[in-house]
Amino acid sequence: MVTVQTLAPADGATGPDGAPSSAPTGAGAPLRLPVALALAVAAGLALLAAFPLYGLWWTAPIGVALLAVAVRGRRLRAGFGLGLITGAVFFGPLLAWTNLHVGYAPWILLTLFQATYLGLLGLALAWVSPLARRRPWVWPSAIALLWVAQEALRDRAPFGGFPWGRLAFSQADAPTLALAGYGGAPLVTFAVAAAGGLLAYALGELIAARAWTRAAAATAGALAVTLLGLVLPATTPDGPTVTVAVVQGNVPRLGLDFNAQRQAVLNNHVAATMELAEQVRTGQAKQPDLVVWPENASDIDPLRNPSAADAINTAARAINAPILVGAVLSGPEPGQSRNAGLVWPADLAPGAQPEQMYLKQHPVPFAEYLPLRPIVEPIAQAITNQAKLLRTDFVAGTAPGVLTMGPAKVGDVICFEVAYDDVVRDTVLAGAQLLAVQTNNATFDESEAMQQMAMVRLRAVEHGRDSLMASTVGVSGFVTADGNVHDASGFNTAAVLVRDLHLGSGTTPATNAGPWPEYLLTLAALALLIAAGVARRRRAAPVEDTGQAVSA
């Protein structure tokens, strides 16, 4: 007699390209490809709907869940492809404002590049599927951890990253916004993705027709995670109030060529400030303690151009308050520029120059400087004829933008810097009592401005600081430390806003923790990927089958 042994495939064993070696069943079984494709597209649309201008924040966890269900149990390359589709559907419309004045090619390239990160997320979710089949409770936490890790990578690489479209930035009107004060944007993303992970678990149970009670419990868990912020106390500024004026001077017309009319832009902001001064004189408006002009309010270097300096001097003396002027400065070397916030005192002596300035620390690659210019410039010019407009590279500053303006220490953050966790936190730790985001939306549209305002709202809650956004064309407005927007201006119009804001000196748990929540969640995601690799390679021990015998 010869004993025949059969080897039972281990749960999670894989074949070529990471595919399961035997077809899984139940909640872990991959959906039919047409269904998975439809879910991937729906996931991108749901993510998009959560962001301004739509603002349906509750669709973000639904998008997370749909992508997870689409990729679960699939081959790695299929997971990547489905994630890429979700990313393209999501980022394409979200970033459509980038094509308004530079053509379609840069927008398409940026969309595809950002979508690649969701492709990697889809691959990672497919990778951990075998582990989730063995331990179903892992699936919701895996989804949440991998979302945080994906955003951590996308926020940093390459060339300093591009954090637009983080799940956290879709939650300005959601209860989950309160979590920003405890762990910053990464914790908000984790909560949204965890809610989505619980919904994905519930969907898996329903698809497998296995357990309505577990599906209901998971759905209730998703709701509980979403509403957790309602019971968390918020940090509010406890300092005195200051009266702040924001001047939105508008530009002669939208588009990149507005810089050719930079004198008119400066004149608009001077004239609006002079009009405010007249209203103060007649008692129609309150005397401001400080005034904020937006980024690019003076594209004529006032440190080198006497007429620009005289115009700003006139406005500052008239309003009798320091003005934070967004200015483009030449140098320090030929072919270089600086994006600056200058504190222009009301009593600046004739011929003197302001002593306080903040230089933007995070210039935008391909918009404010060309990385690897000798290599990239010919390629950029071949893609778009607007590349020739970037004749100089903006030099990065090295210090946080804490500026003394009258009774307040103002934290200056310029434009896209509001999307970067470290830039804003360093400003608060350096002593900023309120946050001022100077931006220029004249080359974009209202959706970009509203997306940026959502980021300001998160930062206000994250650090417990009253904040403001000053734009050349809108949207400008004030944001209190609870995340609520006040006195928001319209888009593509002139406006002057005046409001009392509270100064803050304390720190929130998020400010104190800094990047550690993101570091720990990302490390947990890496550990999960390693554990999934072990699960995918495990083979069952040989099992003797005594029920089969053949004669020798």
Q: What burial class does residue 421 get, using C-beta atoms within 10 Å of its C-beta: 0-12 exposed, 13-18 middle, 19+ buried?
A: buried
> CA 133, CA 140: separation in Å to the nearest integer?
12
Which residue type does 298 have? S
Helix (H, G, I), strand (E, B) or coil at 312: helix
Provide DSSP, 221-266.
HHHHHHHGGGGSPPP---S-EEEEEEEE---SSSSGGGGGGHHHHH
For residue 467, give every residue at least 6 positions away whose Cβ sits within 8 Å of its Cβ, in sequence order, or none.
434, 435, 436, 437, 456, 459, 460, 478, 479, 480, 481
**Cα-based distances in Å from 390 to 101, 113, 129, 373:** 13, 21, 46, 10
What are 163's two structure tokens?
A: 């954090």
Query: What is the set of active-site residues?
Result: 295, 360, 415
Helix (H, G, I), strand (E, B) or coil at 63: helix
Contact between 477 and 468 (Cβ < 8 Å) = yes
Burial 422-454 (b: 16+ CB within 10 A, else e): ebbbbbbbeebbbbbbbbbbbbbbbbbbbbbbb
The rounded Cα 127 to chain-centroid distance in angstroms is 26
Contact between 302 and 309 (Cβ < 8 Å) = yes
Kindly report the CA angle at 495 between 494 and 500, in degrees rounded to 5? 160
